[in-house]
């Protein structure tokens, strides 16, 4: 079969005052019609740059400095803007990550489709309309004649992504480049969108390039995969071969770092190939150290005890009570966590899991119900001294490492803040000594003390967050999606760190995630949440091996399984 | 996984960029405005040493020199480069001293208004809800009156004097700062580091001053510059209308007004030179403000 797209020895460089950086170096990949090529790599690997280089939409000052992009045998990297515009849309379609921003909010989706179709095909009049309806039908939008007149905000995220796919297909392209097409979507929607891409690819003999960080997505959809690291393709091959018998050291590390839903490991395999892998973790003798000084009452009370918890948000304000519209974020939730246990809350976005975390630490007010931390009710009285003390036992690690640190403070001041504020250290030099120990403890090293947060990567910032949380000597650590903004290899490091800390400091952990395999690796017991209510509470092993509730089964089915790799190859 | 631009990192470098501005004045407009502004501020500070005569010293003012044209020789033999006003004062000296008054009024009112604005804006953004609505409605009401009208009414009530003018300028300006700070702080308020700070159990005032404030003030650097220029013009207008600073402590505005009576009889210089000076001051501050804005905004930098 002829190659549809052939990239030969592509170099993309970004010249700047401080010298030229190569985003892509000597990359050669190819795609045949009807084939799905996955490009996988972590942030900064240059995978999106390849997609942009193909359609010549590199952000200045980036430019192709070497190599060729052959599309249907023709070199398209040297075409000018006008010729290129004809190829984009007509020959090559693009699907972007965020369906909300890639649609124009002021135009109906019908108008956007019509515009694209008239631009990219020679159709006129009724034929255009007909084609638009056909496309909407093809991407699985029900009642296309009605939905045609709807605006993007009237669609859900998954439906919007379908519209984006319809737009990409409007010019009957031969090649579709999908850049992280499902990253902004929930797992259940992700499955549907990938299925749709797969079907369209087969029916229309499309070549598809899927760019993603998610090996699960690759396992699900791709025929072949190119693994990228630091601008270069380190390995190319059939998906089955790459996932089961990777050759390159990086690919091995990457695959080992992906949390598995089927087996529980004690720790993640150490991923040494990737930056940060060699960080030494320095343990602290807790009994001798300041960290262990805080008196631990051996209370019989449960660490967290929640009963009949309710929380509503006003989503439509009104003067009169009856006109207000409420969203029930948490409905009659009850669970308890034993001291030293790690408890998981899992659910899709909007299931209320983060709201529970915010209620426990006192960031939002409880409407009804009680939250007891080691027997002290913290739900209703906020100003009480005992409540404040009880809440001091709880610390939270946030999702976004980029916004959870004050950019104007040095790392040492960020971490020392609770120590200084509560004067838990005898002097400021002791406080700084403790900060140094904490930084060593989370694997950053005390050299980080004088730097500012922006000098660190996402994973390192998350370590700083953890050190800050530890500085107030908590007994309970609430982790709200602590790794969902991080690359898999970094995620493995952070999860290992959390496990070690839990063992060493005997922390109780409430672990919130949408990612079932991560939950499996981290938690003893799990609560599955949906629409603000708990569906099922079970030990992790029980839940994964024999789920009771329908919804739990549904969620478990959606985990992209490494075992299923190659299933698709057998079918076709 | 999620690739983010370090937007907050950019604003962190605010002061670094200010340094860059002075070090790397490749833009001729910026260069001229910085030089001009330095000269103007220098003149104002060192007025007693630079000015040829002391316009306040009645013993050297001679009515015989009244309305000398620029370049003519005074009674005592020195040359009046910018002429003499109706009472026989040297216009050049009056301008240099007038600049002093104008700048003192503008800068001190800007600083006071800035402090009040930052305080109100941060309180509104941090507490949100009813506090926010209440404070912001006051701001709305304040901003719905024309600045010059409010200042006129206030000065009519308070009377003349440099301190009174400063009070009037603070009253008309604090709301602008409050609104800007509130907008920036509201964005920061919902970031996770503020939540993390309240998780640590820090007091509200500590969160506001230590965490919210340093992250919310970078837009004010530009605004404060532009507002200073604005308050120089308001002060000049007020003085021109005769309600501003007293004639014994002339500002640029009162100098312009002073010469207005003579302009039809051909003695243009009494009004013209203070007017040019006012223009140069306001324009150079404005250009500088624009340059800082450009430098601080990552979208403009290439």
pLDDT-derived band at B208 (thresholds 50, 70, 90) equals very high
Mean pLDDT of A536-557: 88
| B262 min Cα distance to partner chain A (Å) | 56
CA separation for the pair B173, B109 (Å, rounded) = 8
Which of A15-19, A350-354, A545-549 has the lowest average pLDDT?
A15-19
- Cβ neighbours of A454 in B, within 8 Å: 6, 8-9, 12
pLDDT of residue B1: 34
Cβ within 8 Å, pair B199-A406: no
Looking at the domain that runs over A290-538, which CATH code has it been given?
Answer: 3.40.50.300
- Cβ neighbours of B129 in A, within 8 Å: none
pLDDT of residue A119: 85
**Backbone φ, ψ for residue A248 (5° rounding):** -75, 145
On whether any CB of chain B is under 8 Å from the CB of A351, the answer is no
End-to-end CA distance of chain B: 26
How far from A534 is each of A51, A529, B114, CA to CA, in Å? Answer: 42, 4, 50
pLDDT-derived band at A137 (thresholds 50, 70, 90) equals confident
Q: What burial letters (b/e) apply to B233-262, b meaning 16+ CB within 10 Å?
A: bbbbbbbbeebbbeeebbbbbbbbbbbeeb
pLDDT (tens digit per residue) in B181-194: 999 999 999 888 99
Question: In three state form, how does the secondary structure of A33-73 look?
Answer: CCCEEEEECCCCCCHHHHHHHHCCCCCCCCEEEEEEEEECC
Residue B80's DSSP bridge partners are B72
On whether any CB of chain A is under 8 Å from the CB of B163, the answer is no
Mean pLDDT of B78-106: 80
On whether any CB of chain A is under 8 Å from the CB of B204, the answer is no
pLDDT of residue A511: 93
End-to-end CA distance of chain A: 16
Residue A134 neighbours by CB under 8 Å, 6+ apart: none
Mean pLDDT of A462-472: 90
pLDDT of residue B144: 92
Whole-structure pTM value: 0.78
Which of A93-102, A358-367, A368-377 has the lowest average pLDDT?
A93-102
pLDDT (tens digit per residue) in A309-364: 888 887 777 777 777 778 888 889 999 998 888 999 998 877 888 889 888 888 88
Residue A376's DSSP bridge partners are A373
Contact A523, A492 (CB under 8 A): no
Cβ within 8 Å, pair B196-A468: yes
Residue A525 neighbours by CB under 8 Å, 6+ apart: A337, A341, A343, A344, A537, A538, A539, A540
| B224 min Cα distance to partner chain A (Å) | 21
pLDDT (tens digit per residue) in A487-540: 887 888 888 888 888 888 888 999 998 888 888 888 999 999 988 889 999 998
On whether any CB of chain B is under 8 Å from the CB of A390, the answer is no
Mean pLDDT of A394-401: 88
Structural domains in chain B plus CATH codes: 7-296 (1.10.3720.10)
Mean pLDDT of A193-211: 88
Mean pLDDT of B226-235: 87
pLDDT of residue B110: 92
H/E element holding A307?
strand A304-316
pLDDT-derived band at B135 (thresholds 50, 70, 90) equals very high
pLDDT of residue A187: 76
Cβ within 8 Å, pair A404-B193: yes
Strand order in the sheet with A224-229: A92-95, A175-179, A207-212, A36-40, A224-229, A232-238
Residue A215 has pLDDT above 90, yes or no: no
Nearest to B192 among A48, A392, A398 (CB): A398
Q: Which of A382, A402, A453, A465 to mutate to test the interface with B (most CBs of B within 10 A)?
A: A402
Cβ within 8 Å, pair B195-A487: no
Cβ within 8 Å, pair A43-B3: yes
Q: Which two tokens stand for residue B51?
A: 């000015």
Cβ within 8 Å, pair A487-B1: yes
Which of A56-70, A138-152, B5-19, B199-213 has the lowest average pLDDT?
B5-19
Residue A94 neighbours by CB under 8 Å, 6+ apart: A51, A55, A88, A168, A176, A177, A178, A179
CA separation for the pair A93, A122 (Å, rounded) = 17
Q: Which two tokens stand for residue B281?
A: 């001051």
pLDDT of residue B121: 94
Burial class (CB in 10 A: 0-12, 13-18, 19+), A503: exposed
pLDDT of residue B18: 56
On whether any CB of chain A is under 8 Å from the CB of B206, the answer is yes
- Cβ neighbours of A314 in B, within 8 Å: none
Residue A565 neighbours by CB under 8 Å, 6+ apart: A219, A239, A240, A243, A244
Size of interface A-B (CB pairs under 8 A): 85
Which of A184-188, A309-313, B43-47 has the lowest average pLDDT?
A184-188
CA separation for the pair B193, A402 (Å, rounded) = 9
Nearest to A403 among B191, B198, B202 (CB): B191
Mean pLDDT of A114-127: 86
Q: What burial letters (b/e) apply to A340-366, b meaning 16+ CB within 10 Å?
A: ebbbbbbbbeebbbbbbbbbbbbbbeb
Cβ within 8 Å, pair B201-A403: no
pLDDT of residue A344: 92
Q: What burial letters (b/e) apply to A296-318, b meaning 16+ CB within 10 Å?
A: eeeeeebbbbbeebbbeeeeeee
pLDDT of residue A294: 63
Q: How many other CB atoms sit within 10 Å of the CB of residue A369?
A: 18
Residue B116 has pLDDT above 90, yes or no: yes
Mean pLDDT of A96-125: 85
- Cβ neighbours of A388 in B, within 8 Å: 201
The interface predicted TM-score (ipTM) is: 0.74
On whether any CB of chain B is under 8 Å from the CB of A486, the answer is yes
Angle between helices B218-240 and B147-158 (to 10 degrees): 60
Cα dihedral: A490, A491, A495, A497 (round 10): 20
How far from B127 is each of B132, B137, B185, CA to CA, in Å? Answer: 7, 15, 11
CA separation for the pair B106, B253 (Å, rounded) = 12
């Amino acid at each position: 079969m002829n190659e549809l797209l052939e990239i030969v020895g592509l170099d993309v460089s970004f010249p700047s005052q401080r010298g030229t950086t190569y985003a892509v170096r000597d990359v050669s990949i190819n795609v045949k019609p009807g084939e799905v090529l996955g490009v996988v790599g972590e942030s900064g690997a240059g995978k999106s740059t390849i997609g942009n280089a193909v359609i010549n939409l590199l952000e200045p000052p980036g430019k192709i400095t070497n190599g060729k992009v052959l599309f249907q045998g023709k070199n398209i990297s040297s075409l000018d803007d006008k010729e290129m515009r004809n190829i984009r849309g007509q020959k090559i379609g693009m699907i972007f990550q965020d369906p909300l921003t890639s649609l124009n909010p002021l135009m109906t989706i019908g108008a956007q489709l019509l515009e694209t179709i008239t631009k990219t095909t020679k159709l006129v009049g009724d034929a255009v309309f007909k084609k638009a309806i056909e496309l909407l039908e093809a991407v699985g939008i029900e009642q296309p004649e009605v939905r045609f007149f709807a605006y993007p905000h009237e669609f859900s995220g998954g439906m919007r992504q379908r519209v984006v796919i319809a737009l990409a297909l409007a010019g009957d392209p031969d090649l579709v480049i999908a850049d992280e097409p499902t990253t902004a979507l929930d797992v259940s929607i992700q499955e549907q969108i990938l299925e749709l891409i797969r079907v369209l690819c087969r029916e229309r003999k499309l070549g598809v390039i899927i760019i993603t960080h998610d090996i699960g997505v690759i396992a699900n959809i791709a025929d072949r995969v190119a693994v990228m690291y630091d601008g270069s393709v380190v390995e190319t091959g059939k998906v089955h071969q790459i996932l089961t018998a990777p050759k390159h050291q990086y690919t091995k590390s990457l695959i080992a770092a992906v949390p598995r839903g089927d087996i529980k490991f004690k720790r993640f395999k150490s991923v040494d190939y990737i930056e940060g892998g060699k960080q030494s973790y320095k343990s602290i003798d807790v009994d001798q150290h300041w960290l262990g000084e805080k008196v631990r009452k051996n209370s019989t009370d449960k660490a967290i005890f929640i009963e009949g918890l309710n929380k509503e948000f006003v989503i439509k304000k009104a003067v009169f009570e009856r006109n207000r519209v409420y969203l029930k974020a948490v409905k009659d939730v009850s669970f308890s966590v034993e001291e030293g246990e790690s408890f998981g809350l899992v659910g899709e976005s909007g299931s209320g899991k983060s709201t529970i975390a915010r209620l426990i630490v006192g960031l939002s007010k409880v409407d009804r119900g009680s939250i007891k931390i080691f027997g002290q009710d913290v739900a209703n009285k906020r100003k009480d001294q005992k409540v404040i003390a009880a809440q001091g036992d709880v610390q939270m690690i946030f999702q976004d490492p980029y916004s959870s640190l004050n950019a104007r403070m040095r790392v040492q001041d960020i971490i020392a803040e609770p120590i200084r504020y509560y004067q838990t250290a005898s002097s400021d030099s002791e406080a700084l000594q403790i900060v140094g120990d904490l930084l060593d403890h989370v694997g950053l090293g005390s050299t980080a003390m004088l730097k500012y947060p922006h000098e660190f990567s996402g994973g390192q910032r998350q370590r700083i967050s953890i050190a800050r949380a530890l500085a107030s000597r908590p007994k309970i650590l609430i982790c709200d999606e602590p790794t969902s903004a991080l690359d898999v290899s970094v995620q493995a490091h952070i999860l290992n760190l959390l496990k070690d800390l839990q063992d060493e400091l005997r922390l109780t952990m409430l672990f919130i995630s949408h990612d079932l395999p991560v939950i499996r690796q981290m938690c003893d017991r799990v609560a599955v949440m949906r629409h603000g209510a708990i569906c099922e509470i079970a030990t992790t092993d029980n839940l994964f091996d024999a789920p009771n509730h329908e919804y739990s089964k549904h969620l478990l089915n959606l985990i992209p399984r490494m075992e299923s790799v190659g299933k698709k190859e057998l079918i076709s | 996984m999620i690739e983010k631009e370090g937007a907050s990192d950019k604003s962190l470098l605010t002061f670094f960029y200010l340094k860059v501005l002075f070090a790397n004045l490749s833009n001729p407009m910026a260069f001229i405005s910085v030089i001009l502004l330095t000269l103007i501020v220098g003149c104002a500070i060192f007025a007693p040493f630079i000015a040829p005569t002391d316009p306040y010293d009645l013993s050297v003012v001679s009515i015989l020199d009244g309305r000398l044209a620029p370049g003519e020789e005074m009674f005592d033999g020195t040359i009046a480069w910018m002429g003499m006003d109706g009472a026989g004062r040297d216009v050049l000296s009056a301008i240099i001293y007038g600049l002093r008054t104008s700048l003192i009024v503008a800068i001190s009112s800007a600083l006071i208004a800035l402090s009040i604005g930052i305080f109100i804006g941060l309180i509104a953004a941090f507490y949100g809800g009813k506090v926010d609505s209440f404070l912001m409605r006051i701001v709305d009401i304040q901003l719905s009156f024309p600045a010059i009208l409010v200042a006129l009414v206030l000065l009519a009530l308070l009377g003349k004097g440099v301190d009174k003018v400063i009070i009037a300028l603070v009253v008309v300006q604090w709301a602008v700062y409050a609104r800007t700070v509130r907008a920036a702080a509201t964005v920061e308020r919902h970031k996770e580091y503020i939540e993390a700070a309240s998780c640590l159990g820090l007091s509200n005032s500590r969160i506001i001053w230590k965490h919210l404030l340093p992250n919310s003030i970078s837009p004010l650097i530009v605004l404060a510059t532009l507002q200073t220029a604005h308050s120089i013009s308001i002060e000049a207008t007020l003085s021109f209308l005769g309600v501003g600073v007293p004639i014994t402590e002339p500002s640029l505005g009162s100098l312009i007004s002073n010469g207005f009576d003579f302009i039809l009889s051909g003695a243009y210089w009494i009004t013209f030179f203070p007017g040019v000076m006012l223009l140069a001051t306001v324009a150079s501050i404005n250009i500088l403000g624009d340059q800082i804005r450009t430098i601080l905004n990552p979208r403009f930098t290439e």
